[in-house]
Amino acid sequence: MHALVVVAHPDPHSLTHAIASHVAEGIASTPQQPHHTPAHSAEIADLAAEGFDPRFAAADLALFRKTQAAPADVAAEHARIDRADALVLVYPIYWWSFPALLKGWIDRVFTQGWAYEDVEGGKVKKKLQRLRVHLVAVGGADQRTIARHGYFGAMKTQIDHGIFDYCGAQVVTSELLLSSDTGYPEAHLETARAIGQKVFARAS
């Protein structure tokens, strides 16, 4: 099985990138069953290095209105996700949410007609029910601050429910890795590899 690991950070030497790499290694190190089948695979989509444009522009609005086909870069992202059995997002927390680059990727790629469909009567047809999602957020606050202000719950409402549940995708993993955690930062790399090993554990 195949996973797409999306990372949104401008520094390729950052902890965020290291975590994404360890997630991918964990996925690739997990054998499929039966053993004669090909190994699990992972592709890392480095949005910053690839120069993905996060700006929702006129062409994106035309796609939403169904007056124009998907822009080439959006169609390419659709194809990448369509090839994947699981989607893993690894990102630093900026102002208690996604970085603008990753939010723009969601805005432009999770389009009507592909991720969901507005139907008569105000209903929404969820079109990504096959997709399993794993979220790995990297933050600098401590657990006490997170808990006191309800930030983790707010992020789950905004991201897990507001984005992925709306499209029918199941969020399987929702991890928050903080600089105050014991063993930081090495422990986060071990956690990331373990997350990767569990992505297809039930399918192996």
For residue 125, the domain's CATH number is: 3.40.50.360
Given a cut of 50, is residue 90 above it in pLDDT?
yes
In a domain, 71, yes or no: yes
- Whether 45 contacts 5, CB under 8 Å: yes
Mean pLDDT of 69-96: 97
Residue 1 lies in a domain: no
What was the pLDDT predicted at 204?
Answer: 47
Length of the chain measured in residues: 204
Whether the per-residue pLDDT at 32 is higher than 90: the answer is no
Does 202 map to a domain? no
Please tell me the predicted confidence (pLDDT) of residue 190.
Answer: 97
pLDDT, the chain, mean: 94
- Interatomic CA distance for residues 114 and 64, integer angstroms: 10
Going from the C-alpha of 159 to that of each of 10, 103, 174, 190, the distances in angstroms are: 22, 10, 10, 25
Residue 88 pLDDT exceeds 80: yes
Is position 118 within any domain? Answer: yes
Considering the domain boundaries, does residue 203 fall inside one? no
In a domain, 114, yes or no: yes
Quick one: which of 181, 162, 9, 188 has its CA closest to 93?
Answer: 9
The per-residue pLDDT for 141 is 85
Give how many domains the chain has, as a whole number. Answer: 1
Q: What is the pLDDT of residue 203?
A: 56
Domain of 12 in residue numbering reads as 7-197
Residue 113 domain flag: yes
Give the Cα separation of 72 and 174 in Å (integer). 30
Q: Which range, of 13-22, 33-42, 138-147, averages the lowest pLDDT?
A: 33-42
42 in any annotated domain: yes
Over residues 172-185, the mean pLDDT reads 93
Q: Which of 13-17, 31-35, 178-182, 198-202 has the highest mean pLDDT?
A: 13-17
- pLDDT recorded at residue 30: 83
pTM recorded for the entire structure: 0.93
| Distance in angstroms (rounded) separating the CA atoms of residues 27 and 41 | 7
